[in-house]
A and B are shown apart, each in its own frame.
Chain A
Amino acid sequence: MTGSVRDVDLATPRRRRVANLVGPVALLVAMVVAGGVLPATDVFTLRLVVVYALFALATNLLIGYGGLVSFGQAAFFGAGAYTIALGWLHWETSFWLTLVLAPFIGGLLALVVGAIALRTRRLYFALLTLAFSQLFYVVANAGYEFTKGADGVFGAIVPEFLRGRNPGNGYLFILAVASLAALALWKVTASPFGLVLRATRENRERMEALGVNVYAHQLMTFVISGFFCALAGALYVVAAGSATVELLDWGQSGHAVYMTVIGGMYVFLGPALGALAYTFGVDYVTQSGLGHWQLFLGLALLGMVIFRPDGLAGLLSPATWSGWVAKLRGRADRGSEPEGRR
């Protein structure tokens, strides 16, 4: 499962670096245009897509880059959302203040959770992070007076111009914040810090032998992920206008994991692609009246994970295409086998 080709090399030549920028910039332009062209209902869905894209990207910092499968990122997503919602509900705190505060609260929470959870490995880690997020979920549920429990916090939480009748404003705001956050996350993955993170995923013992404090490094990663998950949660309040306890449920953590798997965890923007496919897919199945969304999601996930473990991004990668072209021409050249298809 561990290929060496799945990450962008740090030492990519300048020309490829510029080429690497073309895709994201084109995508961003397309997203902005889509917000102006598409009907309001789709723009509303797009707002959630962007929120979940950031959530999935932040989760993938742990899963794809760190090899740390966390099933508890909803804790930080929910913390971000509740920072804004509860600040508004109890103290009428300014939206802008809580928006800035939210990621820091998420990061702080991640520091506490990570300090304990990172003492464990693999499945224990996955299940311990799940337990933490479930703990916050049941606490939020039980503390009805403070959190409004299952009823959720609704109302004019965000400023007038972000609500309004035109969903485009809110969309552009969410897109702008999320894009900046994605850029920051990309910087993290492309830095020496990110390289150490990936190297630890591949061979923990060797990195320890080299003198890397793996625990501290992974804890830092966990905090960064929690920071951006909370920012995504804060943006969720802008997109949905509410905060409910379901945001803390492990099902919510699951969403980020499935988006990552569907989109492709070994390409930086893969999880964002997964968020797009997943959100619109669920939306489509629900609206079409077909029902059985669990069945479709289950089949899609199963097919993806068994046949295309590198996700949609892997399916779209040039290597896969040239592999198919080669196959069509009947050239069974083993050297040009598509990557990641072991």
Chain B
Amino acid sequence: MDSLILDAVSVLSTAGWLFIVSAGLTLVFGAMRLINVAHGSFYMLGGFLMTSLAASSAGIRFWWALALATLVVAVLGALLEVTILRRIYQKDHLVQLVATFAMMLIIADVAKTIWGSRARTVDAPAAVDGTLTVGGASFPTYRLVIIAAAVLVAVALWVMLTKTALGWRTRAAVEDPELLSSSGTNLTLLRTGTFALGAALAAFAGAVVSPQLAVAPGSDTSIIVAAFIVTVIGGLGSIPGAAIGALVIGLAQTIGTSVAPSWAATSIYLAMILVLAVRPSGLLGVAER
């Protein structure tokens, strides 16, 4: 029983963290047909900013640092969209992959210059620090914060995309951008906003996980591979798909770790290969012609 609770918390917190990152990636792909390799860079920047802000002598409170780190990266995302990405929306996937990969390299170099190559982490606030014991199982209390954050993000995105005008505009931007534009929506601004939101989600994930998982150079490449796997399993462009993909990977990782620890790293790739072998466009994806 206690190990079951432990596993469940482990699966959910891994899935929650992966979901927040992947939701941003899949949102940007869904709304703009842009595949962003630099998404992992936003995640890493969020983590680095968080550790700097929360540890600084200015005494910025944990939650404020979280909000600030997210906001700064959102602004950076908007700037990159305006200066670079706007040029490559109409280009094919290879151009997008290489251009955003180049952005990832540049950001990684700048981040290394600023923060060095040491792994950084941050203390969780006292209220959610320490361990929690439920039914004989002990786990870090902070894991519940990550799960809660993921649920919050999921609900907020669902409300935004299905209940607000902004949401249907975002969805319409994929279906028929020209008609949307001619009926009075500022498409350019909408795209910048969507990209900034995607960047913000990545940064938020990096910042919120930083008390549990240290951020270091290389965090960008490892998270982007994981986020790609999650979104591809769920189906590119589908936010519910990202949630399912995150759960699949969370499960695969937890099972893999308990069955064969030294081979655990293979489980997420096997999961992806298995899913795509059966459903070539992911679980909730629409077949691309």
Contact = CB atoms under 8 A, between A and B. Distances in A.
A162 to B, nearest CB: 34
Interface residues of B, number: 46
Contact of B277 (A63, A116, A250, A293): A116
A124 B277 CA distance: 11
A250 B225 contact: yes
Contact of A134 (B105, B225, B287): B225
A131 B273 contact: yes
Contacts of A131: 229, 269, 272-273, 276
B106 A302 contact: yes
Contacts of A236: none
Interface in A229-279: 250-251, 254, 257-258, 261
Nearest to B269: A135
Contacts of B101: 254, 258, 301
Interface size for chain A: under 10, 10 to 19, 20 to 34, or 35 or more residues? 35 or more
A116 B289 CA distance: 18
Nearest to A309: B95
A138 B266 contact: yes
B61 interface: no
Given A120-B281, A127-B229, A309-B95, A138 B269 contact: yes
Interface string A172-193: 0000000000000000000000
Most B-side CB within 10 Å, residue of A119, A258, A302: A302
A298 B95 contact: no
B98 A298 contact: no
A71 to B, nearest CB: 8
A257 to B, nearest CB: 7
A119 B98 contact: no
B57 interface: no
B236 A1 contact: no
Interface of B: 35, 84, 87-88, 91-95, 97-99, 101-106, 108-110, 112-113, 221, 225, 228-229, 232, 236, 262-263, 265-266, 269-270, 272-273, 276-277, 280-282, 285, 287-289
The 10 A-B pairs at the shortest CB distance, nearest first, are namely A298-B105, A298-B106, A301-B102, A295-B109, A302-B102, A135-B269, A294-B109, A138-B265, A120-B280, A294-B105
10 contacts: A69-B94, A124-B281, A127-B232, A258-B101, A261-B94, A294-B108, A297-B102, A298-B102, A298-B104, A306-B88
